[in-house]
Amino acid sequence: MQTPFYQYDLALLNDTLNAAVAQATRYGYTIHYALKANANPALLKIISGAGFGADCVSGNEIKVALKNGFKPQGIVFAGVGKTDWEIEYAIEQNIQCIHCESVQEFQVIEQIAQKLNKTASIALRINPNVDANTHKSITTGLKENKFGMSAEEASLILNSANKYKNINLVGLHFHIGSQIMNMEVFKNLALEVNRIQERLQSKALPYLNLGGGLGIDYINPSINRIADFEGYFKTINQWLNPGKEQTIHFELGRSLVGQCGQLYTRVLYTKTTKSRNFAIVDAGMNALIRPALYGAIHRIENISKIEYPTIATYDVVGPICETTDCFGEQVNLPNTERGDLLVVHSCGAYAESMASDYNLRERPKSVFNHSGLALLPKH
């Protein structure tokens, strides 16, 4: 098999989806899969087949969701910069609702719905100013972030909603960030949503969406293969005080697909300088940009030397002409040689979907493993 490639463990994906559904159904919650985490059609077909809705952030994501089995009535559409054609397309497809992120966007949606002579279902995305306690670059719910509108702006829209006959205002939407491991954060979100709902008197509206953000264990992916759905939904259920008729929605991405994907890459060269050992591999930041973008840590193993003791530390770097093209600094590995196969774990979310052809490198292909067993390295 030509390296680099993504490998998806579909047995683990199914187990993860089942675990998420089992916990969500305890409370009657609905989950929409956030396509931005990974829009690989094979994964999408499995996720839509398991009954999930979809959370999309572009017109093209809506198209891909529909093509891969998601039902229009389970699709929600967020994003601060929706273009007119995307809004038009979303309305024409009769998706569940558009998450509106500003007063001006509300006016544009209303004009477009009027032009189409259709009704647009809208939820207002509110920026609750709740700290997600995660990496700064993947925090979305602080007042300095670009996402959503203030509760004051939402109040103005809510108070005048009945004069817009092409708008059906169904409720509120929140999303405060990603890779959140601390359940206290979700408690804080739920409490703030309660306050905002009281203030806006929105509990009679039928729809309430708390976004996504549940994190995964990047340090011990083989031990914690499935995210803590139990703790997550339990925390929300314990602290959220919704209206009696409100349906509660979530938009999970990383926690559903993150652990089922791995990036396989081969060592092209090794070299030792005065201060470092380098293992130079054939995958670059164009295949996995998270370490370069957020200093993210992914577990790396040399599976050609799986039985060998760890004896050296390496900077595992790619071929791209950027110093940040580094998958891990000072990684403990066995004595590593040209031709060894390395696996970078937890690459199911935000790896393939953020891939590029920078330096005109090809995006890695994907392979699927139905057995739950890892692919064996070819020597």
Ligand X SMILES: Cc1ncc(COP(=O)(O)O)c(C=O)c1O
Residues forming the site for ligand X (CB under 6 A): 34, 37, 55, 78, 140, 175, 178, 211-214, 251-255
328 with 300: CB under 8 angstroms?
A: yes
Q: Which is nearer to ligand X, 177 or 364 (CB)?
A: 177
Closest to ligand X by CB, 121 vs 255, is 255
The packing angle between helices 229-239 and 183-200, to 10°, is 30
Q: How far apart are CA 209 and CA 54, in angstroms?
A: 13
- Do strands 277-281 and 312-317 pair parallel, antiparallel, or not at all (unpaired)? parallel
Greatest Cα pair distance in the chain: 72
Are 84 and 107 a contacting pair, CB within 8 Å?
no
Q: Are 297 and 264 in contact (CB under 8 A)?
A: no
Least distance in Å: CB of 368 to ligand X? 21
Nearer to ligand X, 67 or 146 (CB): 146
Q: What whole-number distance in Å separates Cα of residue 95 and Cα of residue 75?
A: 5
Q: How far is the CB of 373 from ligand X (least distance, A)?
A: 27
Report the residue number, 215 or 284, with the smaller CB distance to ligand X. Answer: 215
Strand partners, 9: 369
φ/ψ of 110, rounded to 5, equals: -60, -45
Measured from the CB atom, is 12 or 78 closer to ligand X?
78
Give min distance, CB of 183 to ligand X, in A: 15
Q: Give the nearer residue to ligand X in terms of CB position, either 210 or 240.
A: 210
Asked whether the beta carbons of 61 and 38 are under 8 A apart, the reply is: no
Residue among 134 and 265 whose Cβ is closer to ligand X: 134
CB 322 to ligand X: min, Å: 24
Per DSSP, helices labelled H in 120-228 are 151-160, 183-200
Count of alpha carbons within 13 angstroms of residue 168, beta-carbon side: 12
Q: Smallest distance, Å, CB 309 to ligand X?
A: 36
Work out how close the CB of 22 gets to ligand X at its nearest, in angstroms, rounded to a whole number.
Answer: 18
For residue 334, cis peptide bond before it (omega within 30 degrees of 0): no
Q: Least separation, in Å, of the C-beta of 206 and ligand X?
A: 20
The structure tokens listed for 223 are 């031990």
